[in-house]
Amino acid sequence: MKILSFGAGMQSTALALMACENAKNPETPWPLVPVYDVVIFCDLGMEPPWVKNQVEFTRKACEWAGIKFVVLDSPLYSDFMQNFGERRTISIPWWTIREDGHKSKMPRNCTIDYKVELISKYVRWDLLGYRKGQRLRDEDRKAHEMHMGFSAEEARRCKESPNPMFVNRFPLVEMGLTRADNFAYIKDVWGLETKASACTFCPFHRNQFFSYLKKEEPEEYGRLLKVDELLRDKNPKPPMDSDLFISRSRKRIADLTPEDCQDGEYFDYRGQQVWNGF
């Protein structure tokens, strides 16, 4: 099978829509992009509002093209809020600082545990028909392609899959398409303006993102503050000697100043500077 791990950002949205074009066009305008057997989105429970719009747009496009589109509920947000400070939780790449001023960052395991593994279980049990505990058949070893929406500037992130079923594929990297190229394709061909996708509390966001939520999405901003307050008030298990922060400025979200928030990432589209959502 050929499977798209759909994050609903610019890159994976572009891949899904390219696959839809190929499904309807016998000339296959995007030869490196297959007509996917299934497009899978993992709903992590706390994402920017535009992500839902991009998911729904892509779902309808896949329905039009006859491509299976699946949404899996992933309990990353609920697990973290329930368990942080009480028992061991998933490692999210929080920014850290010790009393002596030493700065560092936590390891990133959230994508593997709450997206890749969830997709793997769905494919194994629901699509391939395995029973829990059943050993992998030889014909399924490295037999299925997992396509990832990494763009050309992210080529360093392209790695072999540790999963015994999958071989990773990165069509956008092979085509040399950047994030800006993906935005332009979706905007020009499909009429949809897209932004990046990540959990609302993802530490890779720039401070401008948090400022945007405060102004435009106060309810989502309030949920974000609760995550930040949990990091402030509780120590993880096992305990650490560092304070943890969502903001790369190593400040609490509520304490960010307007000057802190002039750090958004932009790219050029037809002579205009477009904020990418980070």
Kindly give the confidence (pLDDT) of every residue in the chain, 278 residues in length, as a single tens digit, with 9 standing for 90 and above: 999 999 999 999 999 999 999 999 999 999 999 999 999 999 998 999 899 999 999 999 999 999 999 999 999 999 999 999 999 998 899 999 999 999 999 999 998 899 999 999 999 999 999 998 899 999 999 999 999 999 999 999 999 999 999 999 999 999 999 999 999 999 999 999 999 999 999 999 999 999 999 999 999 999 999 999 999 999 999 899 999 999 999 999 999 999 999 999 999 999 999 999 99
Its pTM stands at 0.95
Q: Which residues contact 49 (CB under 8 A, 6 or more apart)?
A: 217, 220
Enumerate domains of the chain plus CATH numbers: 2-275 (3.40.50)
CA distance 240 to 60: 46
CA distance 36 to 38: 5
- The residue type of 129 is G
DSSP state of 155: G
Q: Which residues contact 75 (CB under 8 A, 6 or more apart)?
A: 45, 114
